[in-house]
């Protein structure tokens, strides 16, 4: 059981990291970015491609992938979000335009086989691959009867450190204050001289970079990289996480991530893998119906 809890914490870290980016965009822009899961997938795919197809060492590959994902965030902002803001479209439109981008991202990878347009990015079509053995050193520790893999430990540390840094930036720096100001009241922020569009673009960059990193860590930890990992593994679970924690709340997303990890492991141990698969959505549904502001009471803003 303790071993299972450890696993819950590892997977929870990835959920949390993914969800933090998801919820950041919702909190600041009031928009649900459904392309976030596709960026998550691309983070893993780009890293894999640089390592396995182009022979790059893991670390620089991961750094490049994270940056590329950040740029994809800018692409999302400029293509799918900003034009809609310009004509004051309802936030629901952004949901649809980001779905459109997600479709495109997934389909590009899914159709990439040797000899096609995107074969430099991906050659395995719809198949699932894993990083070549030895991409990252993976020592295994045995402590008090528990098995701890080095990569998983690294994942835990990486995500916790990143979330702490993000928390610090948002809480204590002028940029973080500006972010919160824009999230709370766009008009007031504008009148203070904050360039709201620039804040939005930075938010998308940051969020997508985090999402891409979560994808890389997922690829390492679960050894499963395919065009569908975003859509099938984290898109809806990420939604469940941010709903659990209260939409737009970053601490809520972190706690929600670990909570979902624990709930899933509990469901797996207690009821088996079929129940585990559905438990996130049951939680999502129940929380929205019973306590739409999230378990920790972030303010709910209902706007169409």
158 binding another protein? (CB under 8 A):
no
Q: Is 269 in the site for another protein (CB under 8 A)?
A: no
**Residue 169 in contact with another protein, rule: CB under 8 A:** no
Residue 264 Cβ vs another protein, minimum distance, rounded to whole Å = 12
Distance CA(156)–CA(48), nearest Å, equals 20
Residue 107 makes contact with another protein by CB under 8 A? yes
Q: In the 8-state DSSP scheme, what is residue 299? A: P
Smallest distance from another protein to CB 179, Å: 11
What is the distance, to the nearest Å, from the Cα of residue 234 to the centroid of all Cα atoms in its chain?
A: 7
Q: Which stretch binds another protein (CB under 8 A): 50-58, 149-157, 160-168, 229-237?
A: 229-237
Q: Does 153 engage in binding with another protein (CB under 8 A)? A: no
Residues 22-81 binding another protein (CB under 8 A) are 32, 79-80
Residue 90 binds another protein (CB under 8 A)? yes
Please say whether the dihedral angle defined by the alpha carbons of residues 225, 226, 227 and 228, taken in this order, is positive or negative: negative
Which CA distances in Å does 96 have to 9, 42, 80, 90? 33, 20, 9, 11
H helices of the chain, in order, are 2-29, 36-48, 58-75, 82-86, 91-110, 150-172, 174-184, 186-191, 196-222, 236-245, 250-271, 273-290
**Interface positions with another protein (CB under 8 A):** 32, 79-80, 83-84, 86-87, 89-93, 95-97, 99-104, 106-108, 110-111, 174, 177-178, 180-181, 184-185, 187-195, 231, 235-236, 239-240, 243, 247, 274-275, 277-282, 284-285, 288-290, 292, 300, 302-304
């Amino acid at each position: 059981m303790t071993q299972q809890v450890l696993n819950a914490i590892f997977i929870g870290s990835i959920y949390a990291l993914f969800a933090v980016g998801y919820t950041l965009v919702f909190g600041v822009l009031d928009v649900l970015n459904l392309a976030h899961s596709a960026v998550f997938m691309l983070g893993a795919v780009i890293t894999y491609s640089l390592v396995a197809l182009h022979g790059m060492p893991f670390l620089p590959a991961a750094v490049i992938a994270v940056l590329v994902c950040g740029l994809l965030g800018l692409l999302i902002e400029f293509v799918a979000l900003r034009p809609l803001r310009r004509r004051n479209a309802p936030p629901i439109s952004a949901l649809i335009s980001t779905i459109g981008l997600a479709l495109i991202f997934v389909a590009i990878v899914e159709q990439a086989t040797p000899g096609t347009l995107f074969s430099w990015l991906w050659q395995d079509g719809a198949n699932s691959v894993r990083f070549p053995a030895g991409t990252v050193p993976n020592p295994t520790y045995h402590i008090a009867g528990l098995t701890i893999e080095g990569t998983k430990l690294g994942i835990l540390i990486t995500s916790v450190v990143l979330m702490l840094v993000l928390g610090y930036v948002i809480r204590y720096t002028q940029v973080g204050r500006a972010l919160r100001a824009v999230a709370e009241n766009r008009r007031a922020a504008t009148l203070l001289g904050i360039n709201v569009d620039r804040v939005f673009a930075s938010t998308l960059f940051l969020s997508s970079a985090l999402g891409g990193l979560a994808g890389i860590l997922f690829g390492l930890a679960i050894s499963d990289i395919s065009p569908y990992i975003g859509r099938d593994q984290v898109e809806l679970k990420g939604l469940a996480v941010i709903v659990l924690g209260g939409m737009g709340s970053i601490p809520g997303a972190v706690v929600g991530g670990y909570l979902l990890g624990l709930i899933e492991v509990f469901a797996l141990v207690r009821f088996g893998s079929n129940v585990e698969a559905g438990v996130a959505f049951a939680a999502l549904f129940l929380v929205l119906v019973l306590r739409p502001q999230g378990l920790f009471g972030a303010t709910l803003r209902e706007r169409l």
